[in-house]
Chains A and B, each alone.
Chain A
């Protein structure tokens, strides 16, 4: 437990992703089984222990500390696990601290009545950081900024594997991942993934550049519309059907009707997850209403009907198609879809074209909603995990840009904590009394170089008018040309609009703030 506690302590104060990985690598390399597996489970997804933790802690604390002092402490600290870890009487016995396995085995399936003495026994054997780690372990997610993807990356690095290899077996494994570690250290074969809906790492595309287009043979290329949803992978192994995000997170619970539609299939397919109403693709905003939901009721399903538009097939029955050319995979996808006809899905069609100039014209003449751009794929391309060069490209429309005025700046985090690097910007709006006021329309923290960041930071400090904690309000004097992919109506924002992916395109040191754009300009861009 002490090593896990030290790990949580350092992860909690480390901002940098690289350093977090280094801490995890050191932990996974040097900690034995099954402790490191429990730690991995706790960090990546949280242990599903379902214990009456909060109530039991309150009962235990009531026996040990005056309720007034407990309440004052809890209010000050702001977190129950931390408060208890600080208030618990110091170790009186010399019994060694419990390890993770002892704790997990001990509490699994116990009744509330048995859990209480067990928990106080563990707390008695730990010091303050150990107690904190214990309570975070039992309470689910420790919230130390470690995503499941980061944990997998660290596992891969610790055992010199590619993260794709870990992802391919991940969903066939269960805590404490004994078979994962014995395989990684070379003591056992790769875990068996048949009959389990596992994630296959995705193949991703590069943005296309002018010179790429010149070098390509149009006859060797498939063009497809790039739909404005999220990339998903549907993995079906009979009864086990899962929907994965592009990073391999299992998002099935948020879209139960999709999993149901593919029940009984034996296939792994790639596609775009969309909200489609009466054949029309709804704005991305609508899809966002469905993401990250733990429970999806009938109303949500009815109001935001989900759909997958398929464009690739990785596995068909027992056949792994990833070493086949795209032309073959596409034919298999169509044949399979015709044969089995799963609901709530269709196959994304190809865009026929002669040369890239005519393709550009076709695109320019398309007014369909939900099209974000074009995908160009080599017909001969194999399905290669990651973002390999020279096979797939995305051809997006030039971003929309507006000239905005910098209004607020906030300190960044980690490496940027001494810089004002997060910018809230606004545009002009004419008020009822015919004067002009700035209304915030978005926030950006990317799109500038380190050198530009220094200049922006200096400007913010020099033109600060007010401070609110880490935020500074600045005089309306700097114009940022902001690029974004789309803009939608929003009831949540004062301006009534919400931008998609806003970023700083250019810093217009030259442009007077008076000449920045107006809200009407942005409203006119609403798709």
Chain B
């Protein structure tokens, strides 16, 4: 690929120490590590991919070799089948491997089950590619670990100061209260199928909601995987198997696209709820016709994004996807050199 030319040019311009772009830089397929000859979260098939987590805009099928946490690999197999990649290389958190002279370690990102930051070291330089992350506690995944580095590569999904996410358990209690207050209506909760779905269930269980929770068919396989991985989700039942039953008073989880779909017409006068960081903004709530908005996000909010970038001690921040302009501006003001990589192919709509 064309990485050689780029790498050499940059290296020639900055002799010692090497500029970080010389060994890690954006390519048409996503971030490419020229020194180790691998991509991180590439969006079309490549020879060797490191995958930060299982969401479909990060983990795609058809790569030669995939290195990821064992959880992420299991998620990819559930989503794309056992042959999603020619070869899987599970690597647990904290273990270091050497790929063509580049030292590679995965550390928890706190985003969803199995999500990892990729810590790379080459010639005394350390770059952390954080993927998607959050700092808030989540009963379904390992908590974010801060890794000090020279370059921190961050997302910017919620990078506007209007996004300040409150505690998620409060939102779970809000849902439980609504269920109790309207026992003749079905509560239809829109959730992203991987991560948000299982986190909401775990939060509700932790708050003492032990009634059966009904699942749209698209959510079943991943919930079963979480349960196999030892995450308690309680009594889960298929909503579709309930044969058009209206299920008054019950909680039904569905992917966001199913909320306004004909599928939802079978339920008893449903309360449309939606768990997402976007629910902080009323316009988004109205746009989706949501009656019960729950602000629960699997991404860092504005204060956490800024704090994390500063806390890594990085001299450079690279912003991959989301609202990069605000974050670049703020970090610049605080004396950190930040720039947008403007990577394409990432979605933020369904968090």
Contacts and interface: CB of A to CB of B under 8 A. Distances in A.
Contacts of B286: 12-13
Given A76-B160, A87-B161, A418-B265, A13 B291 contact: yes
Contacts of A83: 162
A498 B323 CA distance: 44
A8 to B, nearest CB: 10
A15 interface: yes
Contact of B325 (A72, A82, A413): A72
B262 A418 contact: yes
B290 A13 contact: yes
B260 interface: yes
Contacts of A78: 283
A79 interface: yes
Interface residues of B, number: 29
Interface stretch (B29-37, B143-151, B219-227, B326-334): B326-334
A72 B326 contact: yes
User: Which one of B260, B265, B281, B286 has the greatest number of beta carbons of chain A within 10 Å?
Assistant: B281
Interface string B286-324: 100111110000000000000000000000000000010
Nearest to B264: A418
A457 B285 CA distance: 24
Nearest to A65: B161
A12 B282 contact: yes
Main SS of the interface on chain B?
Answer: mixed
Contacts of A68: 326, 329
Interface string A118-154: 0000000000000000000000000000000000000
Interface residues of A, number: 27
6 contacts: A13-B292, A15-B291, A66-B333, A68-B326, A73-B326, A417-B260
B45 to A, nearest CB: 30
A72 B262 contact: no
B330 A69 contact: yes
A19 B45 CA distance: 51
User: Which one of A15, A69, A76 has the greatest number of beta carbons of chain B within 10 Å?
Assistant: A69
Nearest to B279: A13
Main SS of the interface on chain A?
Answer: helix
A418 B261 CA distance: 6
Q: Which 10 A-B pairs have the closest CB atoms?
A: A86-B162, A73-B162, A417-B289, A72-B326, A13-B291, A73-B160, A418-B264, A68-B329, A418-B265, A69-B161
B262 A461 contact: yes
A83 B164 CA distance: 12
Interface string A199-241: 0000000000000000000000000000000000000000000
Interface of A: 12-15, 65-66, 68-69, 72-73, 76-79, 82-83, 86-87, 90, 411, 413, 415, 417-419, 457, 461
Interface of B: 160-164, 260-262, 264-265, 269, 272, 280-283, 285-286, 289-293, 323, 325-326, 329-330, 333
A86 B326 contact: no
Contacts of B282: 12, 79, 82
Contact of A82 (B269, B281, B289, B293): B281
A78 B160 CA distance: 13
B285 A86 contact: no
A142 to B, nearest CB: 12
B52 to A, nearest CB: 26
Contacts of A86: 161-164, 280-281
A15 B265 CA distance: 16
A72 B291 CA distance: 27
A38 B124 CA distance: 66
Contacts of A87: 161-162
Nearest to A454: B265
Contacts of B291: 13-15
B351 to A, nearest CB: 15
B290 A79 contact: no
B39 to A, nearest CB: 31
B262 A13 contact: no
B164 A77 contact: no
B326 A69 contact: yes
A15 B272 CA distance: 11
A72 B160 contact: yes
A66 B330 contact: yes
A13 B285 contact: yes
B161 A73 contact: yes
Contacts of B323: 72, 76
A79 B283 contact: yes
B266 to A, nearest CB: 10
A82 to B, nearest CB: 6
A461 B260 CA distance: 13
Contacts of A76: 160, 162, 281, 323
A65 B162 CA distance: 11
Contacts of B290: 13
Contacts of B160: 69, 72-73, 76
Given A13-B292, A66-B333, A73-B326, 20 more contacts: A12-B285, A13-B290, A14-B291, A65-B161, A68-B326, A68-B329, A69-B326, A69-B329, A69-B330, A73-B160, A73-B161, A76-B160, A77-B162, A78-B283, A82-B282, A86-B281, A90-B164, A418-B262, A418-B265, A419-B265
Contacts of A15: 289, 291
